[in-house]
Amino acid sequence: MHLLSKPLLPTRDITDEKTFVDRRAFLTSIGVGLAAGASVLSPRLAAAAPAFRRWQGEEDKLTPYADVTGYNNFYEFGTGKSDPAQNAGSLHPHPWKIEIAGDVKKPGIVDLDEFLRPFQPVERVYRHRCVEGWSMVIPWSGIPLRDIIARIEPGTKAKFVEFTTLHDPKQMPGQNRSVLPWPYVEALRMDEAMNLLTLFVTGVYGKPLPNQNGAPVRLCAPWKYGFKGGKSIVRIRFVEAQPHTTWNIAAPEEYGFYANVNPTVDHPRWTQAREHRAGEFFKRKTLMFNGYAEQVASMYTGLDLRANF
Ligand SMILES: Nc1nc2c(c(=O)[nH]1)N[C@H]1C(S)=C(S)[C@@H](COP(=O)(O)O)O[C@H]1N2
Ligand SMILES: [Mo]
């Protein structure tokens, strides 16, 4: 594949050094705890610390670490927003194995740390919009999924990529209740998976992902509703047919396969025109594709977004 030879990001999105330094001071001030001169990336990501990169309007403030890690959706640990932070201690994310399956050059099971070692990690600030109407602004770190896919070398039959969460009721007590069909499965069309924005997330706020955010690795496609970002991934499968995904199985009339953030297509039970940004009093207008239209809209030309919600 030729994709790795292309520049990963347009240069205008690389924040200048001063902003990077200011942000490090900010991270320290909110207690993320950086020793002087320390990298903002976790040790496992520090190998080649990149410039900080920002994909958002400068007016959007980062959501505090306490909210990012204390107000979550992760039904494997309960359906309340504080349940994951309270209950996810039973998850053991190290060591971690991931199965690479389907139409790929070399299917098999890999150790996550070993698998990620050759990659250049990036840090990106993304808006995060839950289908329920809340939103945050989160500094994720991880590997652009396109780099990972380029290395996996899927075959010509790979039209979709499916991500499966761990299924282990001992570690995930919420799986003893059938609130959702387990394991949690999500998927992207191949071009969506290869989009510059799509991130294989291993950290947040420069630290490894806390269990409640999907340790050791979860997905992020920031122009889609949050439920597309499957957590604690144990299998990546490349397939020809559109996969059956958890929320779409659970309530197909409410949660479509695409799940692109779209203020003009309401959820059957509530509006999607506005959102509640964590920490703000007044609601904000939700932006088309969560504000990432410039980077993603061309993937959907000719697709009826009302039918394909
Ligand atoms: N395995 C799994 N992944 C999941 C979920 C879940 O319940 N189980 N919830 C999804 C939903 S609805 C959202 S909004 C995001 C929340 O991510 P966060 O808690 O890191 O903000 O995770 C998504 N990934
Ligand atoms: Mo969500």
Domain with 259 in it: what CATH number? 3.90.420.10
Domain total in the chain = 1
- pLDDT score, position 186: 99
Query: Is 252 inside a domain boundary?
Result: yes
All residue ranges of the chain with pLDDT < 70 are 1-58
Give this prediction's pTM: 0.86
From ligand 1's centre to the CA of 77, what distance in Å?
11
Closest Cα partner for 285 from 171, 127, 50? 127
- pLDDT score, position 11: 30
Query: Is 219 inside a domain boundary?
Result: yes
- Mutating to test ligand 1, I would choose from 62, 68, 69, 74 the residue with most ligand atoms within 8 A of its C-beta, which is 74
Sign of CA dihedral 220, 226, 227, 231: positive
Query: Is 196 inside a domain boundary?
Result: yes
Determine the structural domain holding residue 57 and report its residue range.
11-300
Query: Is 99 inside a domain boundary?
Result: yes
- pLDDT score, position 49: 43
Q: Whose CA is nearest to atom 12 of ligand 1?
A: 227
Query: Is 5 inside a domain boundary?
Result: no
- pLDDT score, position 120: 87
165 Cα nearest atom in ligand 1: 1
- pLDDT score, position 41: 46
3-state SS track over the chain:
CCHHHCCCCCHHHECCHHHHHHHHHHHHHCCCCCCCCCCCCCHHHHHHCCCCEECCCCCCCCCCHHHHCCCCCCHHHCCCCCHHHHHHHHCCCCCCEEEEEECECCCEEEEHHHHHCCCCCEEEEEEEECCCCEEEEEEEEEEEHHHHHHHHCECCCCCEEEEEECCCCCCCHHHHCCCCCCCCEEEEEHHHHCCCCCEEEEEECCEECCHHHCCCCEEECCCECHHHCCCCEEEEEEECCCCCCHHHHHCCCCCCCCCECCCCCCECCECCCEEEECCCCCCEECCHHHHCHHHHHHHHCCCCCCCCC
How far apart, in Å, do the first and last CA atoms of the chain sit?
31
- Mutating to test ligand 1, I would choose from 231, 261, 290 the residue with most ligand atoms within 8 A of its C-beta, which is 231
206 lines ligand 1 (CB under 6 A): no
From ligand 2's centre to the CA of 135, what distance in Å?
9
- pLDDT score, position 93: 98
- Mutating to test ligand 1, I would choose from 167, 227, 236 the residue with most ligand atoms within 8 A of its C-beta, which is 227
- pLDDT score, position 68: 98
180 Cα nearest atom in ligand 1: 7
Residue 45, C-beta contacts closer than 8 angstroms, at least 6 positions apart: 121, 141, 202, 203
The tally of CA atoms less than 13 A away on the side-chain side of residue 22 is 6
63 lines ligand 1 (CB under 6 A): no
- pLDDT score, position 59: 77
Query: Is 307 inside a domain boundary?
Result: no
Counting ligands in written order, which one lies closest to the CA of residue 232?
1
Q: Whose CA is nearest to atom 23 of ligand 1?
A: 227
From ligand 1's centre to the CA of 185, what distance in Å?
11
- pLDDT score, position 209: 98
- pLDDT score, position 58: 67
Query: Is 150 inside a domain boundary?
Result: yes
Query: Is 20 inside a domain boundary?
Result: yes
- pLDDT score, position 3: 30
229 lines ligand 1 (CB under 6 A): yes
- pLDDT score, position 53: 60
From ligand 2's centre to the CA of 64, what distance in Å?
18
